[in-house]
Amino acid sequence: MAALGGDGLRLLSVSRPERQPESAALGSPGPGLCCWVSVFSCLSLACSYVGSLYVWKSELPRDHPAVIKRRFTSVLVVSSLSPLCVLLWRELTGIQPGTSLLTLMGFRLEGIFPAALLPLLLTMILFLGPLMQLSLDCPCDLADGLKVVLAPRSWARCLTDMRWLRNQVIAPLTEELVFRACMLPMLAPCMGLGPAVFTCPLFFGVAHFHHIIEQLRFRQSSVGSIFLSAAFQFSYTAVFGAYTAFLFIRTGATKFLLPQSLRQAEPGPSAW
């Protein structure tokens, strides 16, 4: 080696093949293309979710039981197929090939009790003000209120109310599945955990703009009031979406959302 001199060493260093990144060696697309695939996949999910609400042609308002039942069907179909979008995204990008789909979406038994109880406690503290206001405005005392809440007849009446089922069961479950469990695993490897927390809720907030169509159609208010209401709804749904995305990541999804190389570069839990 020494006999070759400096030129020979430079020749060897040039001729030696450089080690390619793991993603390039596996034939995976570059980071820029991965980001575009992730954003397009999230946009497709959001459009599919909102579009499923309008596959049924009806002259009835959205709160009519017949309309709600039809939308239940289409939304449940789209939501059940949404994990396939994550699976296709993983095949196209080659990210997290060894992680199961359910684990990647946050469905696992490890740490399930603190992951369920601590966010519930934090959310109760967050809504402590409105809960106290409701308790003060309620004409009955605490004992009578508990009797109403725990009465089987009261729950049976709720379960037969289509609006209650939509607002309290179907909409929250399907929205969290599509806009959180499916979108965050695709956005976090592309842009990191912090930006993903604030980017993912934008899809969730924009998806609520479709209410403008029905409000204008049935002339429920003035045009200015309708758009002002839509802007306000976008604001608080985006903020609450960022909160739920933060909970999704803080309950142990970090080690599954990021590849090993990005995982080492992410700040520890104390930085959050």
pLDDT of residue 254: 53
d(CA 134, CA 148): 14
Of 108, 51, 85, 264, nearest to 184 (Cα)?
Answer: 85
Other Cβ atoms less than 10 A from the Cβ of 137: the count is 7
| Domain that residue 222 falls in | 29-121+177-259
The mean pLDDT of 195-202, rounded to a whole number, is 92
Distance, in Å, from the CA atom of 157 to the CA atom of 148, rounded to the nearest integer, reads 12
Token digits of residue 250: 């803080």
* pLDDT over 80 at 16, yes or no: no
Taking residues 10-25, report their average pLDDT: 36
Is 234 a member of any domain?
yes
| Residue type present at position 162 | M
Q: Spot the catalytic one: 18, 64, 91, 175.
A: 175
Who contacts 9 (Cβ-Cβ below 8 Å, separation ≥6)? 1
Q: What is the DSSP string of 199-255?
A: HHHHHHHHGGGGHHHHHHHTT-S-HHHHHHHHHHHHHHHHHHHHHHHHHHIIIIIHH
Our answer to whether residue 208 is catalytic in this structure is yes
pLDDT score for 72:
95
Whether 93 maps to a domain, the answer reads yes
Is residue 52 within 8 A of residue 74, CB to CB? The reply is yes
DSSP state of 170: I
pLDDT at 124: 87
CA 16 to chain centre: 46
Residue 15: pLDDT above 50?
no
pLDDT tens per residue, range 125-184: 988 888 788 777 777 776 777 777 788 888 899 899 999 999 999 999 999 999 999 999
175 is catalytic: yes
Examine residue 162 and state whether it is found in any structural domain, yes or no: no
* Residue 157 lies inside a defined structural domain of this protein: no
144 in any annotated domain: no
- The answer as to whether 169 is a domain residue is no
pLDDT of residue 29: 57
Residue 218 lies in a domain: yes
List 64, 176, 208, 210, catalytic entry: 208
Q: pLDDT band at residue 6, thresholds of 50, 70 and 90?
A: very low
Q: Indicate whether 245 belongs to any domain.
A: yes
For the chain, what is the domain count? 1
pTM: 0.76
